[in-house]
Amino acid sequence: MADHDGAYHQMYTDPLMVADLLVHFVDEPWVKELDFARMQRVNAKFHNRLLPKREGDVIWQIPMHSGGELYLLAVLEFQSKVDPMMAARIFAYVCLLWLQLKRERKIPKDGRLPPVFPVVIYNGNPPWLAPVRLRDLIGLPDQSPLWNFQPDGRFFLIDQGRLPPEWLAQMEAVSALLFRIDQSKDPEEVIALADELLQLITRRPELAEVAKTLADMVWYAMVSLTGEQTARKVFPGTLMEAKIMLQENMKAWRAKQQQEWLHAGKQEGRQEGRQEGRQEGERTGEKKGGAKMLVRQLQLRFGTLPQWATDKIAKADLAILEEWSIRILDAPTLESVLADPS
């Protein structure tokens, strides 16, 4: 989703988000030396016809408390396939950045190049198995004297799909919540994560500036999981609005899904009845299919059903089964779902 990628890129044009990422995901002692209060965005002006056009790269100039400066090159990769030549591309971007700094006369008087820390944030589905340093792409025997003349060209990889969810859940970091939203496979979980974001922003008011983009990310995740493209027509303005609208759309989506499940159960039952060749068998099969589908949904929500619940479902007629299937949308307990109709 192009809009999703644009929102992701927008997140890391905010200095607070960049600091959040480095502090929580780069376990290096020199990170404590970075003066995030004085960091500045760098406008990349370099271009090379041999390199793919870059839309998702973000470059920051970050002073260090001990003196000097670090240039952070953050490469956001929104692709489904791993790029085996990424190390070579990153090395080329770093060299072009140095040449740009030289043209702009931003190289120190001693002529030494400022350090660059390249980060690749990858959110594709396959694990990243390609080399993370240029040296590993070069074909030379281990003992070759030519290794003395080959660049290393290492970059720091954040393969978000391989980050343990339980580890991310323990972190007080916006980036961790974004990665969990991107990894989520359940619309219910997206709503819960939106609530976590609201709580985090309440504890850290300085993040209010990025709330709109956070709302966008939550919204894209929900649209992607439910397939409800019409939800884009009413776009959230803030994270709170996003949460409220997600809850409303979630209820409608559940009702639609429940009707589809119920219809599937009826169709399954009718087929069984036709095979028996009797009209009564069709009705019996319809009831059996509805009961089977209801049991599946109750198990998904409440776990293994007690005997009293399965007995009650087996004795219920089709109309009661339909009523119970609708109650699943809002009822908090198994007992409230299977309560006798009033």
- pLDDT band for position 134 (cuts 50, 70, 90): very high
Residue 167 sits in the same domain as residue 34: yes
pLDDT at position 229: 52
Average pLDDT over residues 331-336: 83
> Does 235 score more than 80 pLDDT?
no
DSSP label of 1: -
Same domain, 16 and 159: yes
Ranges 68-77, 140-149, 156-165, most confident: 140-149
Q: Is residue 10 part of a domain?
A: yes
Looking at the structure, tell me whether residues 268 and 140 fall in a common domain: no
Average the pLDDT over each of 34-38, 89-93, 177-181, 278-282 and give the range with the smallest value.
278-282
Residue spans of beta strands (DSSP E) within the chain: 40-42, 57-63, 69-77, 116-122, 156-159
Sign of CA dihedral 139, 140, 146, 152: positive
Residue 27 and residue 160 share a domain: yes
> What's the whole-number mean pLDDT along residues 93-113?
88
Average pLDDT over residues 316-327: 79
Closest C-alpha to 81, from 116, 37, 127, 114: 127
Quote the pLDDT of residue 327.
76
Residues 6+ apart with CB under 8 A from 4: 78, 217, 220, 224
Residue 213 lies in a domain: no
Across the range 113-141, mean pLDDT stands at 91
- The pLDDT tens digits for 185-216 are 777 777 778 778 778 877 877 877 777 777 77
With 50 as the cut, is the pLDDT of residue 234 above it? no
Cα angle 300, 306, 307 (rounded to 5 degrees) comes to 130
Measured between alpha carbons, how far is 15 from 27 in angstroms, rounded to an integer? 19
Q: What is the pLDDT of residue 195?
A: 78
Q: 219-239 as b/e, with b when 16 or more CB fall inside 10 Å?
A: bbbbbbbbebeebeeeebeeb
In sequence order, the 6+-apart residues with CB closer than 8 A to the CB of 21 are: 12, 74, 119, 121, 158, 173, 175
Q: Final residue of a domain: which of 183, 203, 227?
A: 183
Q: Mean pLDDT over residues 15-44, rounded?
A: 91
Higher pLDDT, 318 or 97: 97
Residue 244 has pLDDT above 70, yes or no: no
Of the residues 183, 215, 243, which one is the last residue of a structural domain?
A: 183
Is residue 264 domain-shared with residue 179, that is, in the same domain? no
278: domain range?
Answer: 256-337
Which has the higher per-residue pLDDT, 48 or 337? 337
pLDDT higher than 60, residue 130: yes
Output the pLDDT for position 124: 81
Tell me phi and psi for residue 58, to 5 degrees.
-130, 130
Res. 108 pLDDT band, cuts 50 70 90: confident
Residue 297 to residue 290: CA distance in whole angstroms: 11
Say whether pLDDT at 57 is over 60: yes
Residue 197 placed within a domain: no
Q: What are phi and psi of 121, to 5 degrees?
A: -100, 110
Name residues whose C-beta falls within 8 Å of residue 286's C-beta, 6 or more positions apart in sequence: 266, 269, 270, 273, 318
Residue 167 has pLDDT above 60, yes or no: yes
pLDDT more than 90, % of the chain: 21
Local confidence band at 231 (pLDDT 50, 70, 90 cut-offs): very low
Cα distance between residue 80 and residue 107, in whole Å: 37
Q: How much is the average pLDDT of 110-132?
A: 89
pLDDT at 232: 46
DSSP string over 82-131: --TTHHHHHHHHHHHHHHHHHHTT-S-TT-PPPPEEEEEEE--SS---S-
Residue 192 lies in a domain: no
Mean pLDDT of 13-21: 89
Across 52-58, average pLDDT: 62
* Domain count across the chain: 2
Q: Is residue 194 part of a domain?
A: no
Q: What is the pLDDT of residue 34?
A: 93
Q: Is 266 inside a domain boundary?
A: yes
SS3 287: helix
Domain boundary residue, one of 149, 183, 217: 183
Looking at residue 230, its pLDDT comes to 45
Co-location of 287 and 167 in the same domain: no
What percentage of the chain exceeds 70 in pLDDT?
74
Round the average pLDDT of the chain to a whole number and report it: 78
